[in-house]
Amino acid sequence: MPTFESFDGLQLNYSLWEGSGSARPVVLQHGFAADTNANWISTGVVGALRKAGFTVISLDARGHGRSEKPHDEARYGEDSMVRDVSALLDELGLAEVSLVGYSMGAIIALAATAADPRIRCLATGGVGSGIVDFGGVDLRVVKPTEIASALLAEDASLIPPAGAPFRLLADVLGGDRRALAAVALAARDGSLDLSAIGVPTLILAGDQDPLAAEPERLAAAIAGARLVRIPGDHMTAVTSPAFAQSLVTFLSAL
pLDDT score of 1 = 74
Residues in the chain predicted with pLDDT less than 70, given as ranges, are none
Write the pLDDT tens digit of every residue in 153-180.
999 889 999 999 999 999 999 999 999 9
pLDDT score of 107 = 96
pTM greater than the 0.95 cutoff: yes
Spatial contact of 50 and 21, defined as CB atoms under 8 Å apart: no
pLDDT score of 254 = 84
pLDDT score of 21 = 77
The correct answer on CATH 2.40.110.10 for the domain covering 3-139+189-252 is no
Q: How many CB atoms lie within 10 A of CB 47?
A: 15
Give the H/E segment covering residue 125: strand 119-125
pLDDT score of 15 = 98
Spatial contact of 92 and 6, defined as CB atoms under 8 Å apart: no
Spatial contact of 121 and 99, defined as CB atoms under 8 Å apart: yes
Spatial contact of 222 and 201, defined as CB atoms under 8 Å apart: yes
